Structure 1
Amino acid sequence: MLFDVDGTLIDAVDNQRRVWEMWAGRYRLDADEVYRVALRTRPMETFAQVAPDQDPRECLTALHELEDEDVQSGVYAAFDGASELLDALPAASWALVTSNYEHRVRGRFARTGLPVPGVIVDAAAVEEGKPSPVPYLLAAEQLGAQPEDCLVIEDAPSGVEAGLRAGMVVWGVNAPVAVAGVHRHFGSLREAVPDILAFARLEGLRKPPPRLR
């Protein structure tokens, strides 16, 4: 089981908007326009589009500072069903695949009480982020799983594309309308919990028992 984080397990929409608004304020940019661009591009691409006259490295440093502050002071909530779902999965059967950084993910999970898996593939772990399949393929490799045996849970088009390109089953959650390409769509994570657990049990039965020594 391979899970995206923001928008899938943790509701961080308000936090992301607030961080980008503060970042836009530092550069005296229109906050609504900046956030609109940020929703569909990676940070460096956002900077190139909304602040082409600024040093992108300084822009990224400023953004990271605001994000780190938000992890400490912002209000976060796990989506309904997230705790129940993750607590029910064997620790070695699931991973997090995120475009964020591991220390922020751990901070958010600590704030919301969610368990942390042994495998976290973050932005620093790969050179190519979503929609490249690389992050999901790396997570599968670290879990010792074949791509075709993996279930990806996503909420965003770039993540869905990444999972599909990795040759995995992809289910979408937390969106009123299905993202193009998903194999199944659920309006909320809560609705998907029974089916995700059923998928996990089925995959567990398919695997041969370990040899006795």
Structure 2
Amino acid sequence: MRYVLFDVDGTLIDAVSNQRRVWAAWAERYGLNADKVYEVALRTRPTETFAQVAADRDPRECLAALHELEDEDVRSGVYAAFDGAAELLRGLPSGSWALVTSNYEHRVRGRFRRTGLPMPDVIVDAAAVDEGKPSPAPYLRAAAMLSAAPEDCLVIEDAPTGVESGLRAGMTVWGVNAPVAVEGVHHHFGSLREAVPSVLAFAAGGGLRDGTKL
């Protein structure tokens, strides 16, 4: 059996504008330049962002404020699934796929409800592991929960930290939703829609693996 492990934001759900709005509101709360804050936030985890842009502030207070804004955005923001996401997830066998996200499960569930995407049985979120991406821990945790061997898992990612996480876990990693391939991916698709046939073929035991035909 083959397994597919998906990142969420930027891979299945287009959340860029939402993330920008959240960080802009957070920056305004602390009297900071929104563009500069977002530029840092794109490259680092929240606690690292706070250390760089608001070193004089209590990081726990900063994180609480960010979580408040993110939760409100899940309730009231507008979200869209990438083209092909619903078809792909509904086409995968039950128990053969999981979500691996740096976000929190309740927000992921809220976004999936808003976009009508089906939910899997397994979600590995920021609270499920001690080390997030680019550590291999999140993807290895998902594989263990599916009773899957890493070599039987395909990771679908859009960002360098997620790609590194999947590669370090010993899995096949395909990149999507970027004009240029992220370094290290075994195969690159410009969009999720382009990847749908190959991902379904992989899950069925055929198609591409490590960028070559099986």
So what's the TM-score if we normalise by structure 2? 0.94
Alignment deviations for residues 10-52 of structure 1 (CA, whole Å, 9 cap, x no partner)? 0000000000000000000010000000000000000000000
2:40 is aligned, of 31, 34, 37, to 37
Question: Once the 2 structures are TM-superposed, how far is the Cα of residue 114 of structure 1 from its aligned partner?
Answer: 0.2
Question: Once the 2 structures are TM-superposed, how far is the Cα of residue 90 of structure 1 from its aligned partner?
Answer: 1.2
User: What is the CA–CA distance in structure 2 between the aligned matches of 1:73 and 1:102, rounded to whole Å?
Assistant: 17
Alignment deviations for residues 111-132 of structure 1 (CA, whole Å, 9 cap, x no partner)? 0000000000000000100000
Alignment deviations for residues 51-90 of structure 1 (CA, whole Å, 9 cap, x no partner)? 0000000000000000000000000000000000000111
Q: Aligned residue for 2:110?
A: 107
Q: Are positions 1:173 and 2:176 aligned together?
A: yes
Q: Are positions 1:122 and 2:100 aligned together?
A: no
**Could you say what secondary structure the match of 1:125 adopts?**
coil
**Could you say what secondary structure the match of 1:180 adopts?**
coil
Q: Aligned residue for 2:63?
A: 60
Q: Aligned residue for 1:70?
A: 73
| Structure 1: segments with no counterpart, 5+ residues | 204-213
Report the aligned-residue RMSD: 0.6
Q: Aligned residue for 2:211?
A: none
User: What is the CA–CA distance in structure 1 between the aligned matches of 2:101 and 2:162, rounded to whole Å?
Assistant: 9
Q: Aligned residue for 2:158?
A: 155
Same amino acid, percent of matched pairs: 81
More helix by percentage: 1
User: What is the CA–CA distance in structure 2 between the aligned matches of 1:73 and 1:185, rounded to whole Å?
Assistant: 33
Count how many residue pairs are aligned between Structure 1 and Structure 2.
Answer: 203
Question: Once the 2 structures are TM-superposed, how far is the Cα of residue 189 of structure 1 from its aligned partner?
Answer: 0.1
Question: Once the 2 structures are TM-superposed, how far is the Cα of residue 187 of structure 1 from its aligned partner?
Answer: 0.3
1:189 is aligned, of 177, 188, 192, to 192
2:15 is aligned, of 12, 15, 22, to 12
Q: Are positions 1:47 and 2:53 aligned together?
A: no
With a CA cutoff of 8 Å and minimum separation of 6, indicate the structure with the bigger relative contact order.
2
**Could you say what secondary structure the match of 2:52 adopts?**
helix
Q: Aligned residue for 1:87?
A: 90
1:98 is aligned, of 101, 112, 124, to 101
| Structure 2: segments with no counterpart, 5+ residues | 207-214
**Could you say what secondary structure the match of 1:124 adopts?**
coil
Q: Aligned residue for 1:206?
A: none
User: What is the CA–CA distance in structure 2 between the aligned matches of 1:28 and 1:188, rounded to whole Å?
Assistant: 37
Amino acid at match of 1:195: S
Amino acid at match of 1:140: A
**Could you say what secondary structure the match of 1:120 adopts?**
strand
User: What is the CA–CA distance in structure 1 between the aligned matches of 2:25 and 2:183, rounded to whole Å?
Assistant: 32
Q: Aligned residue for 2:212?
A: none
**Could you say what secondary structure the match of 1:91 adopts?**
coil
So what's the TM-score if we normalise by structure 1? 0.95
Amino acid at match of 2:85: A
